[in-house]
Amino acid sequence: MLVTVVLSIPQTESAAALRLRPWRAEDRPVLVAAHRDPLLRRRLTKPLVDDAEARRWLDAQVSGWDSSTQFSFAVVADDDSPLGHIVVKVRDAGTAEVGYWTAAQARGRGIAARALETTSRWALGTQQFVPLSRLELLHAEDNPASCRVAEKCGYVLDELLPPAPPDFPVSGHRHVRAAKG
């Protein structure tokens, strides 16, 4: 199945317009370069180290769309080069987990919050793949930037999570956003 979902994020007074589009094979070099960032590598459970891993990761993103179990977007600006990633992973009846990252050069510009807000509205509202009524966002407790993004986008702190090594070696937060109405 060829996925053509593209979401637009309008320009604001202080920020350029963005788009959320499915990842493409030609994004591999940018994807691998973003994963070389030490902070991103520390935050991800499975950072990509080479082109072969990036190829497998991109194939998994396509499979997620095909099976309606994972909806993954590259966050891009005017030049179509990825600045970040956002994903909605269907967990069980009506619930999905959202996750995101921004490339080092794109951090601190509000890109994550804008992408999360747009994706959340789409996932809980207009998407037609699976019915969702609840989105969960999990992050490490020592990641205050993700906590701020979650709260800015209407995700309420729901639970403190204990460490779960090896993938989650530190305590975490679970934030929740429910569909309105």
Decide: 21 and 65 in contact? Cβ < 8 Å. Answer: no
User: pTM (2 decimals)?
Assistant: 0.94
Report pLDDT digits (tens) over 53-104. 999 999 999 999 999 999 999 999 989 999 999 999 999 889 999 999 999 9
Domain boundary assignment for the chain:
7-178
Q: What is the DSSP letter of 36?
A: T
Q: Which CATH architecture has domain 7-178?
A: 3-Layer(aba) Sandwich (3.40)
Average pLDDT over residues 131-144: 95
Helices (H), the chain: 28-34, 38-43, 51-67, 111-121, 144-152
Report pLDDT digits (tens) over 160-169. 999 988 878 8
- Element (DSSP H or E) covering residue 95: strand 94-102
